[in-house]
Structure 1
Amino acid sequence: MSEIPTLHTDEIMTDAAATTDDLSLVGLRHKTTTTVAIDFGRRTLPGNKIVLYLYGTPGQRRFLPLWEGIAFGALGALVLADTRRLDESFEVMDLIEERGLPYAVAVNDFPDSPQYPTELLRSKLDLDPATPLVTCDARDMNSSLEALIALTAHSISSAAAGAETS
C-alpha cells in the first residue's frame, strides 16, 4: 500500500507472546511473528493534494501508550477486523470512540474466515449506522485502497458535519 519502503515491527514470537496471543484459531496455529510496535507507510492520493500517513498498530489495550501517541492529530482510523475473532475488535474500537475519531471497519477476507452478511456483522460489531463497513483482503493493494477510500470519505464527511454544527 505504501509508496515508500515501510517500517515493519514484526518479531519472532517468544513463549511470552504465545501465552498472550490466542493462537488456537484456524489460520493462527502456525503464526511465528507478532507486531511489537508500529508499522508505518505513506500514500499520496491522486492529485497530490492529500497524503495519508499509514500507521499500523496492535489493537490491544496494553499498547495504549503507543496508540495514543499515534492517534494524536489523526483524522480517522481504519479498524481491520477478523471474523475468526471479532470480539478482539472491541478494544480498539473503544479506544477510537473514546477519542471521538471517525473510523471505518474493514473485515479482512481470509480464505478460511467465516463469512457473514453485512447486517449481521454490523450487529455483532455494534456499529453505528454511519460507520462504514467494508470487506477487504489486506494482502491486496487495491482492496486495501478501497478500504482507505471508505475511511477517507467518512473522515471528510464527519469533518464537514462537525463544521456545520459549530
Structure 2
Amino acid sequence: MSLPAFANSEASPKLRGDERTAKILVAGHFAAGKTTLVHGLSQIAPVSTEEVMTSAGADVDYTDLPDKSKTTVAMDFGRLHLSHDLVLYLFGAPGQPRFFPVLEDLSIGALGALVLVDTRRLAETYPILQLVENLGLRYAVAINAFAGAPVIPDQRLREVMALDDGTPLVWCDARDRDSSRDALIALIHHLLTHTPEAAR
C-alpha cells in the first residue's frame, strides 16, 4: 500500500497554495479509540486496515471488551480541513507492541502526535508515551471517555503518566466529532506555539 506523498515529508507545516498541511500521528494503546477518532473526523473516505481478530491471535490481542472484534494491523488514514487554510493528514497507528515498528514508520514526517488513553488501561499507555517521546514528537494526551471508565483527576493523571506541565491533557469522546476536533485543536495549538516558525 502506498502512502500519500506527505507521509515522508519534513516535520513542519507545508504551504500548498493558500493552504498549510500537517501530518499528525494518532497513537494509543490497543482499543483506545484511534480508528473511531480518525474515521469520525475524516472528510474523505478513510483508509482502514482493520482485520477480524481470531483465536489464533488470542494470546497477543487479548481483550475483555465484548464489542471489540477487529484490530488495526497497519494504519488508519484520514484528512481533515481543521480551518479554511489548515489541512491535517491523520495517521492512526496500531497500538500493540508487536506493531511498534509500524508506529515508528508512520511517525516519519509527523508534526506531532495525539495520544489516546483509556483510564481502564493506563499501564498500557506508558510504553506508547515512551515511544512517542523517544521519537522526538511533541504530543498531547486525550483521555477517551469510555462508559464506565474511572474518572481520574487531571493532576493525578499527569503524575502517573509523568507528563510535563506544558503537555496538553484533554478529555474527549472519540465517537463525537466536535469533541475529537477539540482534542486536535489543543494539539495543534501546542505544536504551533512550540515551533521555531511560531517564534519568528
Q: Same fold (TM over 0.5)?
A: yes
Pick which of 133-142 and 84-93 moved more: 84-93
Alpha-carbon distance, 1:161 to partner: 8.6
Q: TM-score, normalised by structure 1?
A: 0.89
Q: Deviation per CA, 1:98-142, whole angstroms, max 9, x where unpaired?
A: 121100000000111111111111112111111100000001100
Match of 1:143? 179
CA distance change for structure 1 residues 88 and 162 in 2, over 3 Å: closer, same or farther?
Answer: farther
Structure 2 residue ranges without an equivalent (≥5): 1-40
Aligned to 1:3: 43
Alignment coverage as a number of residue pairs: 160
Q: Does 1:51 align with 2:87?
A: yes
| Larger helix proportion of the pair | 1
Identity value in percent: 50
Matched position secondary structure for 1:3: coil
Structure 2: how far apart are the matches of 1:31 and 1:40? 20
TM-score in terms of structure 2 length: 0.75
| Correspondences of 1:1-166 after superposition (within 5 Å) | 1-24=41-64, 28-47=65-84, 49-160=85-196
Is contact 2:61-2:96 (8 Å) kept? no
Q: Where does structure 1 lack aligned partners over 5 or more consecutive residues? A: none
Contact 2:192 2:198 in 1 (8 A): no
Partners in 2 of 1:60 and 1:33 — Cα distance?
A: 13
Q: What CA distance in whole angstroms lies between the structure 2 residues aligned with 1:16 and 1:86?
A: 26
Structural RMSD (CA)? 1.7
CA contact (8 A) 1:59 1:91 kept: no
Measured in 2, the distance between the counterparts of 1:161 and 1:88 equals 34
Q: Distance in 2 between matches of 1:60 and 1:155?
A: 26
CA change 1:30–1:50 in 2 (3 A) is: closer
Higher strand proportion: 2
**Equivalent AA in structure 1 for residue 99 of structure 2:** F
SS in 2 for 1:37: strand
Counterpart CA distance in 1 for 2:148 and 2:113 is 26
Counterpart contact for 1:59–1:89, Cα < 8 Å? no
Task: Point out which structure has higher relative CO (alpha carbons under 8 A, 6+ apart).
Answer: 2
The alpha-carbon deviation at position 12 of structure 1 amounts to: 0.9
| Structure 1 residue ranges, 4+ long, deviating more than 2 angstroms after superposition | 160-164
Q: How big is the shift at 1:29?
A: 3.4
